[in-house]
Structures are given as C-alpha cells and as structure tokens.
Amino acid sequence: MFVDEDRQVNLEAIRSGIRALCKDFPESYWREKDDNMAYPEEFIEVLTKEGWLSVLIPEEYGGAGLGVLEASVILEEINRSGGNAGAGHAQMYTMGALLRHGSPDQKQKYLPKIASGELRLQAFGVTEPNAGSDTTNLDTFAEKKGNKYIVNGQKIWISRSQQSDLMLLLARTTPKKEVKKKTDGLSIFLLDMNDQKDNINIQPIDTMINHATTEIFLENVEIPEENLIGEEGKGFKYILSGMNAERILIASESIGDGKYFIDKGTAYANERVIFKRPIGQNQGVQFPLAESYMKIEAAELIRDKAAVMFDNGEKDGKEANMAKYLSSESTWEAANAVMDIHGGYGLAKEYHIERKFREARLYKVAPITNNLIVTYIAQHVLGLPRSF
C-alpha cells in the first residue's frame, strides 16, 4: 500500500534471507543465552558479516544504503523467529546522528568501520537516574577545556556499553539555568570508550530480560573536540530526528514478537486437545488471538507508513510514535493471550513463551514509555494543553 512493487519484492527477499539466517539460531540458542544472561555474540557476528546491521549506512561508506523500512523488516523477522534483535539493533541506527549531523571527516573516519563491524557503536547514552523521561533535565556535564571536553556524570540503563567501542553520548554543555529553552545547551559526542576505560566505570544491571544493560559513571572522561557532533548546544535537536527512526525500528521488533505469539498461540490452540476437542475451538481461546492479530496488523500498517515517510524525509513524528505505541500494546495483549492459551506450559521455559513474554514487556517502557507517547499525541497532534 505504501511501497511500490520493486521495493515490495526486495522486502520479501530480505524477509526470506533473515528467516534462513535465523534457522541457525533456534529458540534453544536464545534460551541458553537468556539462562546465562549472555550476549548472543555468534548471532551478532553473523548478522554483521552478512551486512544486515549496516543496511542504513550509505554505499559510499560501505553499507547497503537501504531505508528504515528495510531495516524494520530485518528486526521484525529476527523477533518473529523467536530471537531478540535488541542485541544488535543499535548498531543499525545509532550512527544516524553521525550520518545526518557529523562532519565529512567524522563520517569518513567512523562510518566505514561501523559498517564493517570493526567498530561497534551500540551504546546510546541518554537516560540518567535523576532525569528519566525528562531528558532535558540531565546532569552529565561536558566542560570545554582547551581542545577537549571533560565529562562528569552518571548514566543509567545504557545497553550494550560492554559490547561497544563507541558511545553516542548526550551531555549538557551549557547549564540549564543559562539557556532560554531547556532543549538548548545539550550536545552529542562520539565517545571512544576503549580510549577512556580508566575513567568509565560500567556496572551491569540485573534485569528480568537478557539485555546487557548497564549503569555508567563518568569521571573526568576526556573527549577531543573533534568528536563533538554538529554544533555545540544543538544536540537535543539532533537526537530527536534519530529517535523517530529508533521508534519505528523498536515498533518492528514488537511486531515481530506479536507475530511470534500469534504463530505459537494458533499452533498450540489447534493441537492441544482438552474435553476431546482442540482448545482453539472455544471462542474464549479464539477471540483474544483474533483480536490481537487484528491490532498487530493495524500496527504494522502504521509502522510501514512511518518508515516510508522517514525514508522520504517527511515529518513522521506522529506516525513513528503511534507505531511504537500500537505495536507494543497489541503485542503485549497477544503475549498475555498466548500465555493464557498455553495454560501451565506457558510458564515452562522449554516452551519459550515466558522468555518472549518478558522480552515483549520491555517495549511498553523503552526507549520511551507509552505514557509519554500518549502525551505527545495529545499535545502535538491534538493540540491539547501541555501537561508538564
């Protein structure tokens, strides 16, 4: 509906390529990683080697030069297979800030190495303990001294920092009380974490999902001025454009989870016989499945629209936010329905439902909570008064 025939054919080819790749990483692989809270290194290596994580990087820098729609179906199919694309998704899109706002020298220096996987840019350092959803209230400060910035502060929930060479870091460069608008005075940097490892203290956070997330203490971290991306003080604007891409891609993972649940739930409802008939014959079992199926299909349509708009350079804030909200909510409905359909077996690890159930829940919270999305729609689309 939103894409021409040639692009559709290419999307189908991408889907089948990813399905084939994922066959080598069955659910037992993901279960083992989850049991051990281990990073799926082998999976990420294959994805990198086959070029799937560099699809958004232009060809001149060694990527495939494809759009967010193509990236979306890659992540969707990984999650639909029972896997967890979250382990690699940031390598795809975090570089967007560099691509859109970096200097020619910065792009030439970093993008080819990010495309080949020689450098991992999988860490995006935004959230802080005292700021949370209120991003512009963050405290981490980068003070310019000579030709470098000295950074002090604390970040929380920064995923894959232990698996990354580089972090895209958001910090204040002008104190909040000295700027007219709270969104001013924030800057983004490419932080070389290997170079500064003595000044960066990374503490893993134990979570209910295997997401390699961490808390980070930055003490007199030095960043050369040439690693400032774009203009000092304009960082918030730069990350906002990337956040729409992130929301579309995360929506895609949710849609993949949703389809996984529908596939699993339907198969189980057809094969499980209780009271001498398949449980799927009962409307109490059918309805929640059919209802969440319809909602996931609708979320996919909005996701496609948002991705095509992003790829065309159109303003897609409304669509990107709606896609993230609708996909995570409909998939969470499907997760609960399929957990119910499995009866006691839903809780057994060997059925994998409980792992995907835990993983699917994240997307109601991150990268932005659904309350904040509803707030965005209320204020920016409907024109209702600001609530905060």
Using CB under 6 A as the binding rule, whether residue 127 contacts ligand FAD is answered as: yes
* Least distance to ligand FAD, CB of residue 220, Å: 21
Using CB under 6 A as the binding rule, whether residue 103 contacts ligand FAD is answered as: no
By CB under 6 A, what part of segment 303-362 binds ligand FAD?
Answer: 362
| Residue 131 DSSP label | T
Q: What stretches of 193-316 show up as alpha helix (H) in DSSP?
A: 235-271, 283-311
Using CB under 6 A as the binding rule, whether residue 140 contacts ligand FAD is answered as: no
By CB under 6 A, what part of segment 210-229 binds ligand FAD?
Answer: 211, 213
Q: Which residue is nearest to ligand FAD (CB)?
A: 132
Using CB under 6 A as the binding rule, whether residue 378 contacts ligand FAD is answered as: no
Which of 159, 163, 164, 244 touches ligand FAD (CB under 6 A)? 159
Gyration radius from the chain CA atoms: 21
Helix, strand and coil percent figures for the chain, each rounded to 5: 60, 15, 25
Using CB under 6 A as the binding rule, whether residue 366 contacts ligand FAD is answered as: yes
Using CB under 6 A as the binding rule, whether residue 139 contacts ligand FAD is answered as: no
d(CA 211, CA 166): 18
Which of 132, 154, 219, 282 touches ligand FAD (CB under 6 A)? 132
CB-wise, 187 or 213, nearer to ligand FAD? 213
d(CA 315, CA 143): 33
CB 97 within 8 A of CB 84: no
Using CB under 6 A as the binding rule, whether residue 93 contacts ligand FAD is answered as: no
* Least distance to ligand FAD, CB of residue 290, Å: 29
For the record, the structure tokens of 186 come out as 């924030």
CB-wise, 9 or 365, nearer to ligand FAD? 365
Which of 4, 5, 386, 388 touches ligand FAD (CB under 6 A)? 388
| Residue 81 DSSP label | T
d(CA 67, CA 64): 9
Which of 43, 149, 157, 332 touches ligand FAD (CB under 6 A)? 157
Q: Which residues contact 43 (CB under 8 A, 6 or more apart)?
A: 25, 29, 83, 87, 88
Using CB under 6 A as the binding rule, whether residue 235 contacts ligand FAD is answered as: no
- # of chain residues touching ligand FAD (CB under 6 A): 23
Using CB under 6 A as the binding rule, whether residue 368 contacts ligand FAD is answered as: yes
Q: Mutual orientation of helices 27-36 and 353-361 as an angle, nearest 10°?
A: 70
Q: Residue 388, class by beta-carbon neighbours within 10 Å (0-12 exposed, 13-18 middle, 19+ buried)?
A: exposed
CB-wise, 158 or 308, nearer to ligand FAD? 158
Q: Which residues contact 126 (CB under 8 A, 6 or more apart)?
A: 135, 138, 155, 170, 239
Using CB under 6 A as the binding rule, whether residue 124 contacts ligand FAD is answered as: yes
For the record, the structure tokens of 30 come out as 């993901």
Q: What CA–CA distances, in Å, run from 138 to 182, 228, 233, 380?
A: 10, 18, 14, 23
* Least distance to ligand FAD, CB of residue 207, Å: 5
Using CB under 6 A as the binding rule, whether residue 371 contacts ligand FAD is answered as: yes
For the record, the structure tokens of 377 come out as 């729609």
* Least distance to ligand FAD, CB of residue 366, Å: 4
Using CB under 6 A as the binding rule, whether residue 365 contacts ligand FAD is answered as: yes
CB-wise, 52 or 157, nearer to ligand FAD? 157
Q: Which stretch binds ligand FAD (CB under 6 A): 52-60, 151-159, 288-296, 312-320?
A: 151-159
Provide the binding-site residues for ligand FAD, judged by CB under 6 A: 124-127, 132-133, 157-159, 207, 211, 213, 362, 365-369, 371-372, 375, 387-388
